[in-house]
Structures are given as structure tokens and as C-alpha cells.
Homo-oligomer: A and B are copies of this chain.
Amino acid sequence: MAVTSRAVTHEQKQMRRADLLKVAMAGFADTSYDDLSMAAIAAEAGVAKGTLYLYFRSKEEMFLALYEEELARWFQELDAALEHNRRGASFDGIVQLMSDSLHGRAAFLRLIAILHTVLERNVDRVTALRFKTNLREHVLRTGALLEACLPFLKTGQGADLLLKINALVIGFEHLAEPSSVVRDVLREPDMALFRINLTEQLLGTLRILLMGLAYEAKYRNER
């Protein structure tokens, strides 16, 4: 991916920014955050290192931007699907929907897992505030949609469920992506217990959570 001309208009600059993020994402699919150097990203994008810093203030902000973009895309897709099920959805419908939305988003899931460890390091208050404010809106909106689809959810439980899912993604991602040595160990027959498939576990747990929330609602009403 080599640069052909300079980005002059706002639109061109947005495109270049998107290109740089695409390159970063591609690199991140192969390489861990720490091992993925700005130099490598610049080289792969066919620009000078300094150019990256015209578009992003730091490595952390670059990946935060990447995260935000992927997150927005994911929420958008999720929201569309939820809108479609507004009248009510079965557990399995929601789980399937979540499954579909995560399909092909492995790198995004890894990004989620490192966000809190890495990205929040070298980010200024303003950026952090903007990010969290955006995130909050997404969570509240999608949370409300979930509540619309799943009548047993009380107000606020939709957003709360999303947070739980977030935690599960982080946790299972860590469990599902061991170091090479550990991966090797886990190949032993006995170790089946620890051979975790991220989406499978994630969706399975989500299903149980949904059942639990439904059960709680029912139990609450019956009282």
C-alpha cells in the first residue's frame, strides 16, 4: 500500500486516515500491540513515520481511534439487527445475532482485550472523555434496544448486559489466546478443559446470562 498523492481536501485526509487505520488493523491481526511498531505500520502504509503523527497524536491514540471505529461499526450492525427484532426475540435469536455480529471480528475482539491495559496509558483527559462519552451513548442506545427485544430486561439491564459482555470478551480473549508455549501444552489430551474457543464460550455464557435474567424477572413477578 503506497501513497500516491498528498491528501489535500478534508475528504482525502479522512480517506488517508482510514487507510492508515486499515494498515494498523492488518498489522494488529498478526502482531501484538507491543510488537507492532509505528515504524512497521508506516512502512507498510508507504508513508513516513512522521506522517502517522499528522493523523494521530500517539500510538495509543491511533489504536484508540481504531477501536472507536471498529466499535462504531459493530454497534451499528448490532443495532440494525436488534431493530429488526424489536418486537421480541428469543434467547437463541439474540445469541445468534451476537454470533453473527462477531463473526470475522477476531482482531476487534483482541483490541477490546488490550484496550484497558494499553490504550488508556498515553491518552489525555479530553480524548478519554470524548471516547467514554461516545461509548456511553452507544451502550445506552444499544442497551435500550436490547431491552426492547427482551421484555424481561428492566431499564438499565440492557446497558449492564453489554458491560458484562465486554468483561466476558476481555476475559475469554485472555483465556483463549495463550502464549505459544501454553498453546503447545494445551494440545495434550487432558487439557481439553482449557482449550477455549472464544466465540463459543462467549455465546454460551451470554445464553446463560440471558436465561438467568429471564428467570430472575419471572421469579420477581411471581412473588
Contact = CB atoms under 8 A, between A and B. Distances in A.
Interface of A: 115-117, 120-121, 123-125, 128-129, 132-133, 135-136, 139-140, 159, 163-164, 166-172, 174-175, 177-179, 181-182, 184-186, 188, 190-191, 193-194, 196, 201, 205, 207-216, 219
A211 B215 contact: yes
Contacts of A117: 117, 174
A171 B116 CA distance: 10
Copies in the complex: 4
A66 to B, nearest CB: 18
Contact of A193 (B124, B128, B136, B216): B136
Nearest to A120: B179
5 shortest interchain CB distances as A-B pairs: A167-B171, A212-B212, A208-B212, A171-B171, A211-B212
Nearest to A159: B193
